[in-house]
Amino acid sequence: MKLWDELKRRNVIRMAGLYLVGSWLVLQVAETLLPIYDTPDWVLKALVLLIALGFIPAMVFSWVFELTPDGLQRDAQVAEDQSRGGYSARRMDRMIGVGLLALVIFFVVDRMWLSADQDAMRPQASAPRANADQSPPPTEDLASVIPSVAVLPFSNLSGDPEQEYFSDGMTEELLNVLAKIKGLKVAARTSVFAFKDQGGDVRQIGSTLGVSHIVEGSVRRDGNHIRVTAQLIRVADGFHEWSHSYDRQLESVFALQDDIANRVSLALKESLGVAASAKARSDIAPEAYDHYLKGRSLLRSRSDLNAAIDHFEAAVELEPDFAAGWYSLSLAYEVKYWYVEHMTLAQLEEVFRNVTMAAKRAEAIEPDSPGVQHALGNAARSQFQYAEAERHYLRSMQLDPSYPDAREDYTELLLQVGRPEASMAAARQLVELDPYFVVGWQRYYSAALQLGQFADAQEAVERVRAFAPYYLLSKVGLMNYAIAHNRQQDAQEHLAWSAERWPEDMAYAQVMLPWAFGDDSISEQALQQALQITPNGEKASFMAARGDISRYNAEMHQAGPNMQVYYYSNLFDNIGAGHAMMRDPRVKELLIRYGFVAYWRELGWPAICRPLGDDDFECGLALERAR
């Protein structure tokens, strides 16, 4: 008790309280202000260490010295009648009280700010728009075995709907950075964006996505200033393992994304063993990054490909060494074929020159980027270099196993070169990785059609109808399957079902279907009118079903490389007329010109083709397929 009384007399206890309250205030203010000036993380850590190291010296100082009217003096030298310990004690009590009040005020303001952000992040809907009975099956439950995380779309709190592209872009960029961390499974973009603006319990969302943790957050943007709030939530119990707010300038947006990814990695390290960190990236001009995100948004939505290309070109003009800008430009040019109608052959040739040019520029800057390898694969495929394209796709998937776009193109390539079994295996992996990726189900359907697996083809159509009924496969998938398998009655029934629901979209098929099955009463004028409104990719299939080699070859010539790579698979789809067409010398010539024979001689022949010595081959061999 004597020691305790002496500690109180010398105000050591009060000094300890004052030191702790003051230190906490300093750290709270520092944590808020330091990110504004892009201060490195080690500054805050160093401040914490200095404060901790200063505690013992402060206590010793309080024990040894006393503040008197004559200044600081050693306590042993101060006479009892000169001691001002009581006055100092009252003064320190007031300071502690003020400090505690400041802490309470700071805490309440900070919590109210954060809670407002979090409430805005959580709309009141409870599930994605997919039909509950038809929703894709949950991803295999590996969350307890493999470190895994999903990045839910960050909420746009800017008060401007036009800034939605920015918050979505931040989400996707963070997802891409996390995907580069070895040992961490990251849910694919399309699947997580299926939950955009849907709200719901993160535990249920995490279970659906098959991940152990969820990252969610919000973005406020005011000019070039951004405030980002991010938090890491454990799916098992909804516990918040980490949260942080950032106030940054747009110039340092890459550093911000890298920092969030590294903090998530560190938070997961102890419980899941994820020890790697994201590689730091150079800063980017704000205007270039803004163009890039606008282009990505338009590319993803497929709403205006020409505008997307303009934005990417503006981004790389401002930042010529921006690899993501270049490979995104290449991907946008490649997609343009499917969404910009009535391009001339010269325009198509220019498009594919730009696909290759932009991919090569990206390769010179960052060859080991998954996006760059993906773009290079597309460029090689457009030049009919299928083996080279396959190597690039495989490299892209090796660099980022969670990147669905390259996997989708790889799956498509396998089908185009006559490997439907391998394509189906890849398609199964694709829809497991990203069950809300509509094109993934398209690939699954196409492989099932070639293999004669109706149940799988029907499953793909039903999945797409559940969450993307606008997509063409929803409307024509079952009709096209029947056409490929020469079932005219089934095809007509499926057409009638679709025409009742989408009469304008199915108008072309009312003419093309009977024509494909040999109806000669259809006039050339009616046929041409129907062809004018037939979607890209559908015309050639009807011509193959009809067995009209002249029209088929002319259509392929006019359509350009994006359709010419389907030259073999369109014929293989139709086991009757299509296989017979392959025996024609005109078809054999184009199988050589479009690069298929070169691929087969290097990597193996499809089931219905075989080499005849070193200089010849034949296709259209009999093939037993389940019906």
Q: Which tokens belong to 236? A: 């098992």
| pLDDT in the model for residue 422 | 97
Q: What is the pLDDT of residues 19-56, one digit of tens each?
A: 787 787 777 777 766 655 555 656 777 788 888 888 88
Q: Strands 65-68 and 71-74: what pairing?
A: antiparallel
- Please check the confidence at residue 394 and state whether its pLDDT lies above 80: yes
Q: Is the Cβ–Cβ distance between 216 and 202 less than 8 Å?
A: yes
The pLDDT, as a whole number, for residue 447 is 97
* Residue 72 backbone phi and psi in degrees, to 5: -70, 130
For the chain, which domains are there? Answer: 2-121 (no CATH), 148-283 (3.40.50.10070)
pLDDT above 50 for 625: no
Angle (CA) 408 409 410, round 5°: 90
Q: To 10 degrees, the CA torsion angle through 99, 101, 104, 108? A: -120
Q: In this structure, are residues 226 and 253 in contact, taking their beta carbons and an 8 Å threshold?
A: yes
Distance between CA atoms of residues 27 and 29, nearest Å? 5
| The predicted structure's pLDDT at residue 201 | 80
CB atoms within 10 A of CB 627: 9
Q: Which residues make Cβ contacts (< 8 Å) with residue 455, sequence separation at least 6? A: 448
Task: Show the tokens assigned to 413.
Answer: 């390539």
Confidence (pLDDT) at 601: 96
Between 357 and 5, residue with greater pLDDT = 357
Least confident of 78-87, 236-245, 295-304: 78-87
3-class DSSP assignment, residue 136: coil
Reduced to 3 states (helix: H, G, I; strand: E, B; else coil), residue 495 is helix
pLDDT of residue 128: 39
Alpha-carbon distance of 489 to 476, in angstroms, equals 15
pLDDT surpasses 90 at 347: no
Mean pLDDT within 569-577? 93
Q: How high is the pLDDT of residue 391?
A: 97
Which range, of 67-71, 195-199, 203-207, 249-253, averages the lowest pLDDT? 67-71
Report the pLDDT value the prediction gives residue 323, as an integer from 0 to 100: 94
CB-facing half-sphere around the CA of 86: CA atoms within 13 A:
3
In DSSP terms, 67 is beta-bridged to 72
Cα–Cα distances in angstroms (integers) from residue 340 to residues 134, 315, 351, 535, in the given order: 32, 22, 11, 11
pLDDT digits (tens, 9 = 90+) for 216-260: 888 888 887 888 888 888 888 888 887 888 787 777 777 777 777
User: What pLDDT sits at residue 162?
Assistant: 79
Which of the residue ranges 226-240, 319-333, 439-453, 490-504 would you say has the lowest mean pLDDT?
226-240
Q: Which residue has the higher pLDDT, 401 or 183?
A: 401
pLDDT at 170 over 90: no
Averaged pLDDT of the chain: 82
Look at the block and give the residue holding tokens 């009757």: 576
Residue 6: both structure tokens together: 């002496």
Taking the CA atoms of the chain, what radius of gyration do you get in angstroms?
32
In this predicted structure, which of 88-102, 264-278, 593-607 has the lowest mean pLDDT? 264-278
- The token duo for 453 is 């697996």
Helical (H) or strand (E) element with 369: none
CA dist., res. 534 & res. 537, Å (int): 8
470-490 tens-digit pLDDT = 999 999 999 999 999 999 999
- Give strand ranges (E) for 187-224: 213-222
Range name among 3-17, 78-92, 214-228, 455-469 with the lowest pLDDT average: 78-92
Q: Quote the CA–CA distance of 371 and 329 in Å, as a whole number.
A: 11
Calpha distance 544→540 (Å, rounded): 6
Tokens 């430009």 belong to 329
Tens digit of each residue's pLDDT (9 = 90 or more) over 501-528: 999 999 999 999 999 999 999 999 999 9
Quickly state the pLDDT bin for 117 (edges 50, 70, 90).
Answer: very low
C-beta separation of 220 from 212 below 8 A = no
In contact, 575 and 564? CB cutoff 8 Å? no
State the Cα–Cα distance between residues 532 and 529, nearest whole angstrom.
5
Higher pLDDT, 620 or 355: 355
* Amino acid making up residue 11: N
The Cα 193–Cα 171 span in angstroms is 9
Q: What is the pLDDT of residue 182?
A: 75
Confidence class for position 279, pLDDT limits 50, 70, 90: low
The β-bridge relationship of strands 213-222 and 155-156 is parallel
Is 484 within 8 Å of 574 (Cβ atoms)?
Answer: yes
Short-list 219, 282, 228, CA closest to 255: 282
Which among 541, 495, 493, 545 is positioned nearest to 516, based on CA atoms?
545
pLDDT value of position 35: 57
**71-74 and 240-249 strand pairing:** unpaired
Give the CA angle between residues 427, 572, 444 to the nearest 5°.
15
Give tens-digit pLDDT for 120-162. Answer: 444 333 333 333 333 333 334 434 456 788 888 888 887 778 7
How many Cα neighbours within 13 Å face the side chain of 357?
10
